[in-house]
Amino acid sequence: MAHEREIAEEQEFLDLALEALDHMRQGARSLRDSAAVANMRGAGDLVERDVVMGTALHRLDQLAIGDQPLFFGRIDYQASGNGANASANGHSNGAPNAKAVGDTYHVGRLAVSDESLNPLVIDWRAPVAEAFYRATGLESLGLARRRHVAIHANQVTGVEDEYFADANGELDLPDDEVRSATAEGLIEGGLAVGGPGALLAALGRARTGRMGDIIATIQGEQDQIIRSPLAGVLLVQGGPGTGKTAVALHRAAYLLFTHRATLERQGVLVVGPNPLFLNYIENVLPSLGESGVTLSTIAGLVTNVEVRAVDFEEVDELKGDIRMARVLARALRTRERALRQDVEIPVGRAIVVLRASYTAEAVERARRRPGNHNQRRSAVGRELATRLAHEYRDRFVRDSSEEINAVGELADLIRSTPQFKESLQRIWPRLSGQELLHDLLGAPALLKAAGKGVLSDDEIELLYRPRFTSSEEIAWTKADAALIDEARVLVGPRRRPRPQPKPAESSVLAGVDLDAYSGDHRAAALREAQRVALAQSQELDEAEFVTYGHIVVDEAQDLSRMELRVLKRRDLTGSMTIVGDMGQATTAGSSASWDALLEVLAPRREPARVDLTVSYRTPEEVLDFAAATLLAAAPGLEPPRPVRRAGTPPTVLEVSVDGFNSALVALTHNEIEAVTPGRIAVIVTGSRVAEIVSTLRAGGLDALDPRDQESRGLAADLVVLSAEGANGLEFDAVVVVEPSQIANRGALDDTSTTPRGLRTLYVALTRPTRRLAVIAGRELPITLR
């Protein structure tokens, strides 16, 4: 239990650090204000003013930590340990009754210095902070003590100290601490985790519907991943509750801190499995002071494609197959074809004939040229028009003086005629990726020609869907988006990017709070916003892709090979962090294999792989209950080792079909009472979400589907989720409905299970942090009996 003296000591230091933080903010505000009213004498002054203004605004954004604690930990080095010589930035420990130690550092979410630039708080990402996360009893890294500090509303509410033995096995304890060390060098009763009290307190808090940062409780194996080098591909395999999502996001923040100049220029992309998941994690990076990271799904990377439909699972699996890349390439080749009949083209009062044989020769030559489809279209048009211009000149031009520039002018004239334009569109049409895919899927003959020898007849039939009458009506699916991206590579841009006109004030002020400024300051803030908007105003063709210096991929196990190709096109440097759990691969197109993923991404250097082996979030009772399901779904994977118990074993309720609805309402109500004010999720197979929402509402419970646009999303107290969309989410309590239906996913009958279905069930079972309940009106899967 924390001593009042220690809390008072940390409160005194917190007050000092907060005062210094206010001074830093005032300095940034002064810099902003001076830039706003500076006298401008020329273009150079304007540039300098804008740079200073941008720097000041960015600094103010960094220093705005809201109600988050300024710091959360402290490390005291041994008097002769690594810390004493590691840096001159530590401050002396002035704790009463403390024995002589080396440097002391407070670790927080950003660096804070006093007016003399002496550091008070170090950024959690700084090298010297590693010991806070990495030190263990076996490897103390020179620490004498590690302290976790609990702060709420700028008040220190508690401290937790861990003492480390020195090289001689001696503990350097305060006079009133009478405890001995274990053989490993930790005080007796300690857990094999850093800051066990702080960790368990964080894990025991009620969920809020949004993921928070974990900088106060990062564990050693997690910190090693976060601080891994930027270059290359890092694969992270982690089971339920291991914190792989949080680790990936904190790694993005760490890399931006360490390589800011490079990554702010090149960009950082975070890819998640669905919009609901992105909403769940969207506050993590801003809370760490990083707001310039792009968050997207794979489909979201494919511009101008609105996903409004869902494929049947067998169709989704086929569209994600790598063979579809070849099908698309062959489909495009069938659109590059010679005319079957000659076409007469009027030129003035004369007629020239575009012969089918001419077009066959031009198509054959164009196919051998490098470049994409739309690029080569121009070459086809120029070649045919020039040939017809020569024929016209030879037949109709008598005066040699008229030959000057005659061929070029005649070619331009021919290319402008409606007959030539129509013919060229038939020979080598200008296409978008959407048009190529829509035409392919809506034409049985084209599907058969493109799929012959690549797909079976049954697969070709699966792909067909009726054509839509207009592009606005097309209901694209998630798998279609990846195919459109592939098609765009083949067809290329339809036009060159053109800079856009200067944006109006209303369009550049999105996200800019001008109410915080007045007078000249407001005008300067507006100029800065306009400058940034102009820098981003060059419009890219939809077939031109934005690339990133580092890409973080979460739930990577669910990506199809075609989706992985989308990802690879956005990779600028070969630097990626890819996290997932092959035991939780639930999508139809997933290969559930790290080797298959690497085969598509083809990294430029040997990838590194690390495994997260400890589950911090998921309690022992839940992992033990779900272990048989994991063994059946993915025999080669070991479940993570839990660090805590919830104290409540999972509940399994088997009921009759007639009594199912009332039993579900009663069970859910019981779970709500048990974990209030926490969050509850009822997880069911996707086709029954609306039904279960209605059942719970009819029973008086305020249940909702968090995907509904007008709902409170995951912040609601009670949500109903599809098992297929639950990856990466966590709740205080979970009720799994009809596990046999979930495990049956993708089966040919209604009674058997599939590996994919069992993996989906494993995901559903491992979402809770405290309580798990299962309700079934039909026979349970064998793994749960």
* CB contact at 8 A, 749 and 690: no
What does the pLDDT read at residue 45? 57
* CB contact at 8 A, 227 and 577: no
What does the pLDDT read at residue 158? 86
Q: How do strand 731-737 and strand 680-684 relate by DSSP bridges?
A: parallel
* CB contact at 8 A, 527 and 50: yes
Write out pLDDT tens, residues 581-601.
999 999 988 878 899 999 999
Task: Describe the chain by its helix, strand, coil percentages, rounded to 5.
Answer: 45, 15, 40
**Cα(505)–Cα(499) distance, integer angstroms:** 18
**H-helix segments, 560-659:** 561-569, 594-601, 620-633
Write out pLDDT tens, residues 324-343.
999 999 999 999 999 999 99
Write out pLDDT tens, residues 216-253.
778 888 989 999 999 999 999 999 999 999 999 999 99
- Token pair in block for residue 498: 């053109």
* Banded model confidence at residue 39, pLDDT cuts 50, 70, 90: low
Phi/psi of residue 442, nearest 5 degrees: -100, 5
pLDDT above 90: residue 461: yes
C-alpha distances in Å from residue 714, one per residue of 280, 681, 710, 765:
7, 9, 12, 18
pLDDT above 70: percentage of residues in the chain: 82
pLDDT above 90: residue 429: yes
C-alpha distances in Å from residue 588, one per residue of 236, 311, 560, 683, 745:
22, 10, 8, 19, 10
What does the pLDDT read at residue 65? 75
**Cα(780)–Cα(785) distance, integer angstroms:** 6
What average pLDDT does this structure show over 416-429?
A: 94
User: Length of the chain, please?
Assistant: 785
pLDDT above 90: percentage of residues in the chain: 52
What average pLDDT does this structure show over 266-280?
A: 91
**Cα(170)–Cα(140) distance, integer angstroms:** 12
What average pLDDT does this structure show over 590-614?
A: 91
pLDDT above 70: residue 80: no
pTM of the predicted structure, to 2 decimals: 0.81
* Banded model confidence at residue 445, pLDDT cuts 50, 70, 90: very high
Give the chain's mean pLDDT.
83
In this structure, the number of other CB atoms found within 10 A of the CB of residue 108 comes to 28
What does the pLDDT read at residue 702? 93
Q: Helix or strand or coil: residue 718?
A: strand
**H-helix segments, 259-289:** 260-266, 275-281, 284-287
pLDDT above 60: residue 641: yes
- Token pair in block for residue 531: 């400058």
* Banded model confidence at residue 192, pLDDT cuts 50, 70, 90: very low
